[in-house]
Structure 1
Amino acid sequence: MKLIVNELKKVINHRTIIEDVSFTVNHGEIVGVIGRNGVGKTTLFKAMTGIYLTDNGRVLIDNQDLTEDIALKQELFFVDPLNNFYIHYTPMEIAKMYAITYPKMDVDQFLTEITDHNLPLNQKVKYFSKGMQGLFNVLLALATQAQFVILDEPFDGLDVLVRENVKRLLINAVQSKEISLIISSHNLAELDTLVDRAIILKDTKVVGEYSLENLRETARKIQLVFKDGLPDEIKQAGTLVEARGRVYVMIFENYTRQLDEKIANLAPLLYEELPLSLEDLFRTQLVNENDYILEK
């Protein structure tokens, strides 16, 4: 199965939150959606799943529009962490409700998972701790057997042990059931170890889409020192993300042999390659230069 988001647009209170948002999610793929606070990640997820009526665009699974084939919505799951109606019910009651909407859901297995993870079966979810609620949301999402599971900030507020447990559950589900995950998170270090591809939202639109495997083959993060400051031709070839005196950290998305030779010919006093992370990609795309350069 393939999920296609095609030119989605949503206007709220006369303000365009997202527009012309298009991307695909392939079978068995983990996709990260990243962007600054308020950029519209949650709005995008609500528009994708029909919680919001869209002002333009379509969402398709295997080229079938979800608004025309309601049964396909069983293949899409999303829990809005800020508007959870089911927190007023127990896991036992929630399982019965969701089994109606998601007929592939194995209720007995779900309740077994709840017990195995030491969550109370007969206590209302609103009385769970934040970490317990986060774990419960993931268990519920996976139990529905939906092909495409959307998770909005699934690691928010989780301690280290619960966070690692959630990551293990997600990775095992992708590997064993070949489901697809769409995840947003402020914790870019967590996404860095999970996602196959990153989609970047900025100013209502998708401004970048990167395969992390391909990115790490072509991009470089380099620490440089030059006697007379950073040459303009080097600055123009990449993104300056840090400056400490004469020490400059640059990210080059397309690091070629020609660029390598150009830097060598300028005889830097220091040339050191640093590990490249998803946070670095976030910096190059989403933050203005004056926001992130550290001057000392």
Structure 2
Amino acid sequence: MTTTAPDPRRDPIELQGLGKHYFGARGDALRDLTATIAPGAITAVLGPNGSGKTTLLRILAGQLAESAGGIAIGGRPLPLDARIPYTAVAHGGNNLGEFRMRDALRFAQSRPGWDGAVYERLARAFDLPARGKLHRLSTGQQSGFAIACGLASGAPIVIIDEAHAGLDVPKRFALYEELVRANAEDGRTVLIASHNVGELERLAERLLVLRDGRLIGDLAVEELRGRYLRLVGPSERVAQAAAGAPVVSARVLGPTSELVVDLDGRALDPLPAGVLAEQLDFQEAFVALVRDGEAASPKEAAA
């Protein structure tokens, strides 16, 4: 009886109680992180600096061993050394050394799913030269080279960890178009970590939000958009309107109050007269979620 190899285009990626501990001052970079990454979807990994994003992505890529827990695809455990063939990774601040482009490209072309047409398309989009030493490229070109090799590799899991931060806006949007194409045409699973939260709103389908090494949000983009509400009006009436909903932030301006509340599936009663309500935009909702997770997250984690 033959068994089919797990395929992240078809099978979910399961993060099972992942932990990463560093001895000394750094402490725990990840704490009991459990989530399911949808197959063939674009997932944004978000969080403040030091939240554990890079640690998580390096573990997923087989570049770093977890201290606790594990990873499975379609219910089948995926040990550290078995993860590398599944993933292509582009990190921010790539240390590409003094390799010549042609040597690095020859190595990248050894991947069994290599697609030269994808590389050439991205090389044009990112203004990559045909030859030269990698360390002499601009920061944006180094990022572009790493991303182009990753997307051309044909790997079923593509990980972009702040690598696009060195790209200007037109080149970042060229990258986003290529990620959507890879996802739509090949069903590839994409994970992207970025500080440009607003740009990911239209790109990602799901979000993993970390704070201090813990997962504080595993939700669809639409869920985050509709989760938080701003209430403004006379203080007593605003407090009445917010009754029963957790308050994320509060501001008092004389007789007027502004509260941000976490609906999290709740429905508020009809608003009292004089109280205005509006949903937070995507970036504001992300900030509210991070603030919401402060009390539940210890401070000593690192990324």
TM-score range, shorter chain: 0.7 to 0.9
Match for 2:15: what amino acid? V
- Specify the alignment match of 2:288 in structure 1: 283
Q: Please say if 1:271 is aligned against 2:276.
A: yes
TM-score (norm 1): 0.82
Q: Please say if 1:28 is aligned against 2:52.
A: no
Shift of the 111–95 alpha-carbon distance from structure 1 to 2, 3 Å rule, reads: farther
Between the aligned partners of 1:231 and 1:255, the Cα distance in structure 2 is 19
Q: Which has the bigger relative contact order, CA under 8 A and spacing at least 6?
A: 2
* C-alpha contact 2:50 2:212 (8 A) present in aligned 1: no
Residues 171-180 or 112-121, more deviating: 112-121
Shift of the 244–91 alpha-carbon distance from structure 1 to 2, 3 Å rule, reads: farther
Q: Please say if 1:74 is aligned against 2:79.
A: no
Q: 1:244-288, CA deviations, whole angstroms, 9 ceiling, x for partnerless residues?
A: 61251424333644x132xx2x32x24142453144133233365
Q: Which protein has the bigger helix share? A: 1
Between the aligned partners of 1:81 and 1:227, the Cα distance in structure 2 is 46
Q: How does 1:1-296 map to 2 (within 5 A)?
A: 1=8, 2-14=12-24, 15-67=27-79, 70=82, 73-84=84-95, 86-100=96-110, 102-107=111-116, 110-111=119-120, 113-115=122-124, 117-216=126-225, 219-226=227-234, 228=236, 230-231=238-239, 234=242, 237-241=245-249, 243=251, 245=253, 246-254=256-264, 256-257=266-267, 259-261=268-270, 264=271, 266-267=272-273, 269-286=274-291
Amino-acid identity (%): 23
1:27 CA drift (Å):
2.1
Match for 2:119: what amino acid? F
Shift of the 213–229 alpha-carbon distance from structure 1 to 2, 3 Å rule, reads: closer
Secondary structure, in 3 states, of the residue corresponding to 2:219?
A: strand
Count of residues in Structure 1 that have an aligned counterpart in Structure 2: 280
1:81 CA drift (Å):
2.5
Between the aligned partners of 1:223 and 1:51, the Cα distance in structure 2 is 46
Match for 1:286: what amino acid? R
1:61 CA drift (Å):
2.5
* C-alpha contact 1:28 1:179 (8 A) present in aligned 2: yes
1:143 CA drift (Å):
0.5
* C-alpha contact 1:95 1:107 (8 A) present in aligned 2: no
Residue segments in structure 2 that go unaligned for 5+ positions in a row: 1-7, 296-303
Q: What's the RMSD between the two structures over aligned residues?
A: 2.7
Residues 236-245 or 153-162, more deviating: 236-245
Q: 1:29-66, CA deviations, whole angstroms, 9 ceiling, x for partnerless residues?
A: 11111111112111111222222222112122333333
Between the aligned partners of 1:192 and 1:123, the Cα distance in structure 2 is 36
Match for 1:55: what amino acid? S
